[in-house]
């Protein structure tokens, strides 16, 4: 089973794909979709949608998960993040895949054991769980963490 995880952001959305076979996980691919800050909001959302759709079509995952939005002190930033997250949910759902959503604290707890883990701790655990993984960046690492969390949650529901 292939699982795609997404870490939404308007400037940069991370994506990561893992394969699950029984209780074993392996890295398939990871990357980041960056949008042009000088483009309009609509153009940036179209870029995000197009590139995520290309990733989904290239890898053909069986299931997907998206990190939930946290509320910033800046309401405008939160709205933009929410719009990018909507595109992420749409890209997976439009492909006919089931979509799950996970809070950042749950993802951190699932990987590191505490919901307040630092990004460096999450990335270190990714290297343990996915030996040899080369991370495309922090957002891609977060996306892989979302995919792993979903893979583990799928196992617990069965």
Q: Is 21:46 a contact under the CB 8 Å cutoff?
A: no
Return binding residues. 7, 67, 139
> What pTM, to 2 d.p., does this model score?
0.94
Instruction: Kindly write down the DSSP assignment for every residue of 128-144, as one continuous string.
Output: HHSTT---S-HHHHHHH
Residue 24 and residue 97: Cα distance in Å, rounded? Answer: 22
Q: Note whether 92 and 64 are within 8 A (CB).
A: yes
How would residue 158 be classed by pLDDT, with cut points 50, 70 and 90? very low
pLDDT above 90 as % of the chain? 84
Are the C-beta atoms of 8 and 91 separated by less than 8 Å?
A: no
Domain count, the chain: 1
DSSP letter at 95 equals T
Whole-number Cα distances in Å, 66 to 40, 87, 132: 24, 10, 24
Residues comprising the binding site for Mg(2+)? 7, 67, 139
| Domain assignment of residue 24, given as a range | 2-157
> Would you name the residues annotated as active-site residues?
7, 67, 139
In this structure, are residues 119 and 14 in contact, taking their beta carbons and an 8 Å threshold? no
Question: Using alpha carbons only, what angle is made at residue 68 by residues 75 and 95, rounded to the nearest 5 degrees?
Answer: 120
**pLDDT score of 157 more than 80:** no
Residue 22 CA to residue 132 CA, distance in Å, equals 20
Residue pLDDT, tens place only, 5-56: 999 999 999 999 999 999 899 999 999 999 999 999 999 999 999 999 999 9
pLDDT digits (tens, 9 = 90+) for 87-140: 999 999 999 999 999 999 999 999 998 888 898 999 999 999 999 999 999 999
CATH value at residue 127: 3.30.420.10
């Amino acid at each position: 089973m292939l699982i795609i995880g997404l870490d939404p952001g308007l400037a940069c959305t991370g994506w990561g794909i893992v394969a699950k076979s029984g209780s074993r996980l392996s890295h398939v691919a990871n990357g980041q979709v960056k949008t042009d800050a000088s483009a309009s909001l609509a153009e940036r959302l179209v870029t995000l949608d197009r590139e995520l759709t290309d990733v989904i079509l290239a890898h053909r995952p069986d299931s997907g998960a998206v990190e939930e939005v946290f509320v910033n002190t800046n309401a405008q930033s939160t709205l933009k993040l929410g719009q990018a997250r909507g595109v992420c949910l749409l890209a997976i759902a439009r492909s006919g895949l089931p979509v799950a959503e996970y809070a950042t604290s749950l993802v951190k707890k699932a990987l590191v054991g505490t919901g307040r883990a630092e990004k460096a701790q999450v990335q270190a655990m990714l290297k343990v769980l996915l030996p040899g993984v080369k991370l495309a960046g922090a957002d891609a690492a977060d996306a892989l963490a979302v995919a792993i969390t979903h893979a583990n949650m799928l196992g617990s529901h069965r």
